[in-house]
Amino acid sequence: MNFNDAVTKSVIQVKESNEFFGALMLFSEFKKSDQVPTAATDGKRVFINEKFFGSLNSSQQNGLLLHEVLHMALLHVPRMGSRILKKWNVAADYVVNDLILRNTSFQLPEGAIRSDNQEYWDKSVEFIYDSLKEEDYKNFSQYDLLEIAEDGKNGKDDDQGIQIDEDCENYWKDKINLLKNSSLYSDSKTQGFFPGGIEKEIEAVVEPEVDWRSALWRFMSKTPSDFDELDRRFIYRKLYLEGLMTESVIADVCIDTSGSISSEQLDQFMGELKGILSSYPNVKVNLYYCDTELFGPYELGSSSKIPAAKGFGGTSFVPFFNAIEEHDVGFNEVNRVAVYLTDGYGDFPKQCSIPTLWLATHDGLENKGFPFGQVIRISK
């Protein structure tokens, strides 16, 4: 069987095994290249060493192509940024190999790596990268993510050459969004159209991190024309830029101090709180701590000393929202927003009448799990 026929056969077999994986394969371009020892991707195309590919059995060929396609579709090349290539490649391989082995019966070529650490399951590449120690990746040598050179190229620019396509990010975002919004996804959602464990990676593709300070500013300065994005009942609160200059603005900020929050995350929350105080000196901040019990409010200004955290038990978001709803004077007297720093794991109220911004940890509850408000991820 020639190379093109073998690739076509693999695409068909992957599609028969998993609809989502199959759709990604159909969006992909595969090229022969003797410049790679096995296979690699520049973010939009898969480059395959024909001799190596021919040495694999059919199941391994399927696994190899799907491995590279997942690297492309999940934007593992552009998401790397300035991180260490070897460390990033190992973290990305852990993600894609785990997805393949947990969701298909395909084999991977000999030497493919997979972590036995279950803490890495269902996590993003960024989370795993930050968790890896040097001994976890120092002996790794099978690179398959191609770095973008200063001239935008990697390898010769000939018929089989490898040239980095820097438009790959938009290309794959469009494809992932297409699948998310397609009737195929809608009809199959309850049957698990998206493979198990891929949610964090999908979020990283279609909902990239946003600087929360900018997001909070936009959140508190909505103009009337922006309110198609928010519940209409918030319009009366006049949360727009002119209002910030003439009316009082209160930010009720709650920090999750439940047992699921690590000391490192709590330190990060405190840092973000300081950022809120320094970024909005004219905004009154009421600080709360909450596990299943609410502590506060503590009225803070830009130079205020932050009180020690309290809690460290179970998790419920209900006490905080009950408290601010009871004290919400509403209408023209004050503009009020709620900001909750959390991993998202806990008991939610059904709704809140106050505009809410969730500043969620990178590895926390997926966005669709928050019943109301806007979710912004805090980078680790």
Contact 143, 40 (CB under 8 A): yes
Q: In 1-132, which ranges are E strands?
A: 29-32, 39-41, 45-48
Q: Hey, what domains does the chain have and what are their CATH numbers?
A: 3-199 (no CATH), 212-378 (3.40.50.410)
Q: How far is CA 358 from CA 10, 57, 197, 289, 371, in A?
A: 42, 48, 23, 15, 11
Q: Provide the token pair at 101.
A: 């082995």
What are the tens digits of pLDDT across the range 360-371?
988 889 888 999
C-alpha 76/C-alpha 201 separation (Å) is 10
Distance of CA 94 to the CA centre of its chain: 16
Contact 165, 42 (CB under 8 A): yes
Phi, psi (deg, nearest 5) at residue 143: -70, 135
What are the tens digits of pLDDT across the range 126-150?
889 888 988 888 888 777 887 543 3
Q: How confident is the model over 146-170, as a mean pLDDT?
A: 50
What are the tens digits of pLDDT across the range 174-184?
888 888 766 44
Residue 334's pLDDT band, with cuts at 50, 70 and 90, is low
Position 295 pLDDT exceeds 70: yes
What are the tens digits of pLDDT across the range 19-48?
889 999 999 999 999 999 999 998 888 999
DSSP alpha helix (H) spans, 231-262: 241-246
Residues 20, 26, 30, CA angle at the centre, nearest 5°? Answer: 125
Q: What are the strands of the beta sheet with 249-256, ordered from one edge?
A: 294-300, 284-290, 249-256, 335-342, 356-361, 374-378
Going by DSSP bridges, is the β-strand pair 284-290/294-300 parallel, antiparallel, or unpaired?
antiparallel
Give the mean pLDDT of the chain.
Answer: 79
The pTM (predicted TM-score) of the whole model is: 0.55
